[in-house]
Structure 1
Amino acid sequence: MTFNIKKTTIPSHPGIYLMKDSNGKIIYIGKAKNLKNRVRSYFVKNQNYKTQKLVEKISDVEFVLTDNESEAFLLESNMIKQYRPVYNIELKDQQRYTYLRLTNEKYPRLLVARRTRAGKFLGDGKIFGPFTQGSSKLLTIGSLRKAFQIRICKRLPKKACLEYHLGNCEAPCQFKDAQDRYEKHVSNLESVLKGRDPQLFVKKLESEMIDASERLQFERAREIRDTLQRLGSLGTRQKMENVRDSDEEYFGARTIEQSVLVMTFRKTNGVIRDSNKFSFDLVGDNSFSNFLHQYYTTNQIPPNIIVNEMPENARLLEQLFSKKSNHQVKILSPAAGKRKEMIDLILRNIDVIQSKGSDPALIEIKERLRLHEIPKTIECFDISNHGIDYAVGSMSRFVNGRPDKSGYRKFRIKTITGRDDFAMINEIVKRRYLRLDSKKAQLPDLVLIDGGKGQLSAALSALQSLGLKIPCASLAKENEEIYIPSQKEPIIISKTSQALKILQFARDEAHRFGVAYNRALRKIKHK
């Protein structure tokens, strides 16, 4: 049942809106300066295909008012992280920095700091970090605790435990002198975690390593050596949330059909240190502006963010980023100079990806379906069966992940009587590729069938009868399971994956095209 927006009272205030499906699950969260104007705009004609699919699933809309647009930005970001709606931008590949926590106990413990989806730290005590990937966990798991004689027991025991006898803890639970020294141990540990000069501690460890070696305690000497190496890694990471004035990040964004491909270069001390690629659908309010805001919820914010085109609400983003990072942030779109050359380089990289068909989603399809080649051309078949006289077949054609409507085909069923979808699939697949093979025309990289194992077997039988070896898969609508010939169990791809969305789009287009043809035949019959 279609949601009736006319019967819904919508406030004309800033805030966020939560769109829900028939099960009450939040499927999209958006923000607006004027909720009434924005939400009603979804229910007018001429929306793109992906937004139409969103609107079809809406059963309810909930509103949360804010005082201004800035608050709406922040609330939207936190709510997206909490509920992870399927139609919102979700950046799974973002680097997440590790934080450490010294508990607020009489004799503190050192733990990895855990956070909620909204970014709030769990537990009490002091937080240290962020640390670069890997270094902190290696230190936390044993080396720092042992080096600083920090206890690991969740509850303070009544007498010394095994850690004391192994030399990893001085047992403040039992010995008065250990209790007196514990505060000093914690103070030394804090100094290292805060990035203060650790040389005194390093020299102490080096002395202990030499002493252990002379005593033939080689295992202890090796352990101290590993600790020194990890402390060196720790020392290189002490950027915290501070960045140099020369640090900047570059973003190139290209809109292709109803999706956006984004590539980033991060420049630190004049050198490109990192590069990454992301893509998202243009559904609802999803935009480059939203992408930037989501991206910098878990990435360090540099003083300069360089883009190929200015995002919406650029000044508002600058204010939010400046407040969060405690330094001034500027978003720039250069017209000339070295920065413009860097942006042009990113855009050339994106163009190369597109021209080669190496879209990340197509690469994922290749890997998940165990194909030998990237499926630049996908042809998808469906049967529209409304009575014996109106059974038809249809085929959509996608090139580089986008519809090629001039290549769509429709079929009248000629050799099958009755309701036999398997046989009909066999017929239309055979007719399609017999024609292409006889003309020596280029075959697709992947044949996709709407259905399950039975439909897939019917299509494979048709291809085998023609002596053709075209990769083939089927997409079952009920649970969006993918079947391939080489394995019994279906392949499950995340519903937020761009790879699955391309396959679904191809399937939905074949279905839409077939239903339209079926409807046209029935109209002609009844005239």
Structure 2
Amino acid sequence: MNEVDPRRLLKDIPQDPGVYRMLDATGGVLYVGKAKRLRRRVASYFGRSLNSRLQLMVSQIADIEVTVTRTEGEALLLESNLIKALQPRFNVLLRDDKSYPYIRLTTQDAFPRLAFYRGSRKTEGRLFGPYPSGWAVRETLRLLQKLFPVRQCEDSFFRNRSRPCLQYQIKRCDGPCVGLVSPEQYAQDVAHSIKFLSGRSDEVVDELVAAMERASAALEFERAAVLRDQIATLRQIQERQYVNGEGGDLDIIAAAQEAGMNCVQVFFIRGGRNLGNKGFFPQAPADTDEPTLLAAFLTQFYADKEIPPELILSREPEDVDLLQEALGERAGRRVRIRVRVRAERARWLEMARDNAQFALKSRLGSQAGYARRLNELRDALDLDEAPGRLECFDISHTGGERTVASCVVFDGEGPRKPDYRRFNIEGITTGDDYAAMHQALTRRYTRVKQGEYPIPDLLFIDGGRGQLGAAAEALRELGIGGPRLVGVSKGPDRRPGTEQLWLLGQEAPVILPGDSPAMHLIEQIRDEAHRFAITGHRQRRAKARTTSVLEEISGIGPKRRQRLLKQLGGLRGLARAGVEEIAGVEGIGRQLAQQIHEAFHRDVPES
């Protein structure tokens, strides 16, 4: 136990429900917990025998902060938000920073469009999902194009057609852009799409069968054959995607634990359709059992996501009644957590368990290989221990234009994408990579010095001795020591596997064998930094070119520029538009429209 007097820590803590935060001597948060009675719960850490993990935590406690809530349910919600924000080392932690994709139907349009969507749920149109991955969305959109010819093209493309596109030729669209389908027929296809995405495919089949019979009675055999093929395709999709006996929305969640690692598999069922599954690997203290793991997972996973009315779990989570109450409060309706299920649901739950076990074994195998690479890197660079945090910087530009620097981060488990950063480089001589590297490291490590990020064990620089020297100078100016600096340059013939490693103070480079696991890890980190840098550079360059032509035309300010791009479907739509179309935009006269048209056809920029 530490030397802090528990009575001093406990004296001002009330018996109300709320959340407590255990702090170390530096003010860092060790643990976040909730309690029905705060004082009693916190006192229990000092008055009973504890396992080794809790003993270690208690030995580091220097202070305790509490937040009082009205109910235990409110405390549970606040606890999950604080854990996601603070990432305390003694809590179960879920890394899940991605928003989930949806299919959006633009119901506000005369001819609605089906499209991939990721972002706020407060948007125009109607959303279907969420889907576990972008692939699942794209696959569903592909199937929908075979079933119902609802357009999926961009608005700018749709508004500027004078003849139907290839999608019409291959019978994936009815050509609403050029008036080849009536609004009534198109509305019927949209209605069928909505029913399909809402899990009401049986209704669609019944309607198509009735339409096929009417077409046959009217001797419209070609139309009847098209409807027959639609019905057959829909039946095939039902066999592949639909869960027998299910008609509502639910998530099936199963956990697996082995060798100190955890996996949670989530199957998304919406409208009776299996939208796919996704695996998660929460970090948790070694003695965390499955009920505790699932309880922590649910509160963090559903903190900012849609909660279905029913959750089927592999084990009953800790405080299940409280969880149901808190999740129901967040969802605005009742949420049921079920563990004991039968028949088809039991088979689906067993499949979720099998997937969790398989994903965990694959991860353990991958982690073992990654750990071996880290150990090989330790030996290759003569380090005292395997590096726990690695950073790599790269510079990207085209002829010095719109220079962007990237910083990617790897830790003991692999890429740590929330810590990635890009830097737009300004105020240097065009094409001066040394100055760009110096500026990027100065900006990054000023924040490191302020305590925003930890100091890495290894710092890779994409480049040779010159870039390495610029990086070392930046760290010296900031007074930062600690990270081992390594420059990674291409070999004489610039082939992969012939890279040279430059270390400060050494005249000759270190050259590792091409099949070295350490070299493979360095190449992976360097390639990730390159990918991240060039993506940022291309985005910055495209953004600059999007507005550069308009900015050069006198009389077009930010508001007119925005109105032009919005009403004509972006830069491509504007480049294709005629003088009359441009003049039709509010605030743009014919003379100005002529200038815009001439500017774009004199020099059409890339997009």
Between Structure 1 and Structure 2, the one with more helix by share is 2
TM-score clears 0.5: no
Please report the TM-score for the alignment, with normalisation by the length of structure 1.
Answer: 0.45
Please report the TM-score for the alignment, with normalisation by the length of structure 2.
Answer: 0.40
